[in-house]
Amino acid sequence: MKGLRERVASKCSSKSAIDTQNKSLTSDCLDQPGSSGDSKFSKGFLWSSFFTAAFSVFETYRESPPTTSEKKGSHTRNNGWTSAVKKIVAGGSMRRIHERVLGPSRTGISNTTSEIWLLGVCYKISQDGSNADAATSNNGLADFTHDFSSRILMTYRKGFDAIGDSKFTSDVGWGCMLRSSQMLVAQALLFHQLGRSWRKPIQKPLDQKYVEILHLFGDSEASPFSIHNLIHAGKAYGLAAGSWVGPYAMCRSWELLARCKREENNLEHEALPMAVYVVSGDEDGERGGAPVVCIEDASRHCLDFSRGQANWTPILLLVPLVLGLEKVNLRYIPSLQATLTFPQSLGIMGGKPGASTYIVGVQDDNAFYLDPHGVQPVVNISRDGIGADTSSYHSDFIRHIPLESIDPSLAIGFYCRDKDDFDEFCFLASKLADDSHGAPLFTVAHSHKLPKSVGRTDTSNDNSGVQEDDSLGVMPMNDAEAPVNEDDWQLL
């Protein structure tokens, strides 16, 4: 691990200032109910569901105009009640109750000069003006903020067309893993179409390729990578509207959806112009153990994607993992940190138990993430919408969580543009496994015939060992847990 840190540290340098506008680095951040897939119902989730459902009543009342008779008979009483509720919410009392149940929110950047890694890019943060002029000292912080806010954010939406034969017109309370996966794949498309140095535009017209990427993730069947199409493609893995899904099933669903879309279109009109390779262990992960990045399998995926026309193509690697029982085994945290320094990094689908997020960066032992749990009205952007309002797809709020607190069931993503990029990834991954002291996240091999050089060790004694991924299953909502009307749900 030390060798890898020395290697990646040599690449780290302060970036030039891109955005000089002042942006808020803190906000009230609430960890809302959702899913990491493998977590069972928790006390925090149930309390969060209660608060969310309760306040949907207040929002429903507020949005529904009273009838004439209601105005005459109960206007004063109702007005006083709703005013009191609004005062409580505005005053932060309910917010504090919510945080008391689910845990305190953490936002902003800690008071440290430690470097920040964000999807393979390093930012040096200086808070001591004595070593450099003030403008230079703040460049790293401003550049990091601009980079973070340029990542595409996918959140809960309400008001879209019903998903399939269900009555769900919102994914509030159950769609956070799907949204986290959308963010990771959207980032892969940004890398592929616009490059790692791309930043969100300040002025219009917008970049056509950027608009086309957002269109792919609209909330309708017309958008190839909508949750509608994800759920339809993932039925074989148990995906269903209103149910929670684990990282493994989510990765496999993306693999199947990409294949379906590839069969519908020719090579020149691929919605996802890259091969998708889900990295698993022996016997497709059924026997547990560290997943193996097989070079022969990666080459085969590229060959299949190109319909036999090329030995290598851009490739998206998805690595689902289970790194403990109820919490992450601390032995894996240095390796998790290191993956975010890879130039090929797409981040991590994971978060707190019961609440999936998209982790994109790390500073010391804290992980920075984008939170899908905010509720927003549906927005479908057309392919030529270069004048569209895309503000709901980005966030300036810097949220973070201790790595040791994340759910042990997660998935890591990597994007390799070409064979040289893939070779570099394999070198870094092999070095990471060698430095893991017998606890690699995953290993690299040329073929399945070669034995793995390192395997996961038994860590059951510390109650945080590795278990087989049981996230293939989903947990359906029963009537008591489902919202009466999803459209009326509001996030606190």
Catalytic residue among 373, 407, 469, 487: 373
Structural contact between residues 248 and 410, judged by C-beta atoms closer than 8 angstroms: no
SS (H, E, C) 109-141: CCCCCCCEEECCEEECCCCCCCCCCHHHHHHHH
- Catalytic residue status for 302: no
User: Taking phi first (over 0 means left), then psi (-120 to 50 degrees means alpha), and beta for anything else, what does residue 84 get?
Assistant: alpha
Catalytic residue among 38, 219, 371, 469: 371
Structural contact between residues 183 and 358, judged by C-beta atoms closer than 8 angstroms: yes
Structural contact between residues 287 and 281, judged by C-beta atoms closer than 8 angstroms: yes
Name 357's Cβ contacts closer than 8 Å, sequence gap at least 6.
176, 180, 350, 351, 369, 370, 371, 372, 399, 401
Structural contact between residues 33 and 45, judged by C-beta atoms closer than 8 angstroms: yes
- Catalytic residue status for 470: no
The pair of structure tokens assigned to 16 is 């030039």
Name 97's Cβ contacts closer than 8 Å, sequence gap at least 6.
51
Residue appearing with tokens 């040096």: 124
**Euclidean distance between CA atoms 473 and 471, whole angstroms:** 5
Q: How far is C-alpha 483 from the chain's CA centre?
A: 24
Measured torsion, CA atoms of residues 206, 212, 214, 217, in degrees rounded to the nearest 10:
170
β pairing state of 399-402 and 375-377:
unpaired
- Catalytic residue status for 371: yes
Catalytic residue among 29, 176, 294, 302: 176
Active-site annotation, residues: 176, 371, 373
